[in-house]
Amino acid sequence: MSYLYLTDFLNLKEISSDLQQELQTCIQVKEVKKGEIIISKGDLKHKKFYVRNGLLRSYIIDSKGREHIYMFAPEGWVVSDLVSLTGNQPAIMFVDALEDSTLEVIDDERIWKLKDRFPELMTSESDRMLRRIAVLQQRVIMLLSASAQERYEAFLTKYPDLIQRIPQKMIASYLGVTPEALSKIRANMSKS
């Protein structure tokens, strides 16, 4: 079984046969169907999911039953509930498949145990986490300060291939606007 996908994600240029063998014990390949929930609110001790192909999303449902999409995870992305994963608490998010998907299920606890023996994993993880924090910082600033149209334009720039794969109501949820507001934004942009 090839773990080329995860090693690409970890940005490991060269991987020793020892590390490759160890990674095989930490990763399982899983096929999921469109609509399948892989993390539910309240779950404990779940894993990270690297998307080989397909599309996932993570979201919450508020007290009024409205969905709020936190992120989309297309090919090459990793998704999880980080509060639960790092804080040993119940998951606060849901993660489901928007398309039939092939995932690498990563046992993070086992990978952490490898970091003493393979320091390149720690360097890779640190770099990746810093990049993820920077992306999240940009998203928060965008939500706080940008207009709805600016947020939509940023979405189009960041996810150019996803616009045809995601329903408009989910894009609206991700942007923090109603589907009707997004329709108006799209209409105004097409006039320009």
123's CB contacts (< 8 A; 6+ apart) are none
Strand partners, 32: 101
Residue 151, pLDDT > 90, answer yes
For residue 96, what is the domain's CATH number?
2.60.120.10
Q: Give the pLDDT mean for 55-82.
A: 92
Sequence-separated (6 or more) residues with CB below 8 Å from residue 171: 152, 155, 163, 182
Q: Are 98 and 56 in contact (CB under 8 A)?
A: yes
Q: Is residue 95 part of a domain?
A: yes
pLDDT band at 168 (very low <50, low <70, confident <90, very high): very high
User: Domain residues for 30?
Assistant: 4-118
Instruction: Kindly report the pTM of this predicted structure.
Output: 0.82
Q: Please, what is the average pLDDT of the chain?
A: 86
Q: Is 38 inside a domain boundary? A: yes
pLDDT of 1 reads: 41
147-152: average pLDDT:
95
Asked if the structure places residue 112 within a domain, the reply is: yes
Could you give the number of structural domains in the chain?
1
- The answer to whether residue 153 sits within a structural domain is no
Residue with more model confidence, 60 or 139: 60
- Would 169 be classed as within a structural domain? no
**Is residue 118 scored above 50 in pLDDT?**
yes
Q: Look at residue 59 and tell me if it is in a domain.
A: yes
The tokens describing 187, both together, are 């209409």
Q: Is the pLDDT of residue 42 over 50?
A: yes
Task: Establish if 66 belongs to a structural domain.
Answer: yes
Percent of the chain topping pLDDT 90:
51
Q: Would 23 be classed as within a structural domain?
A: yes
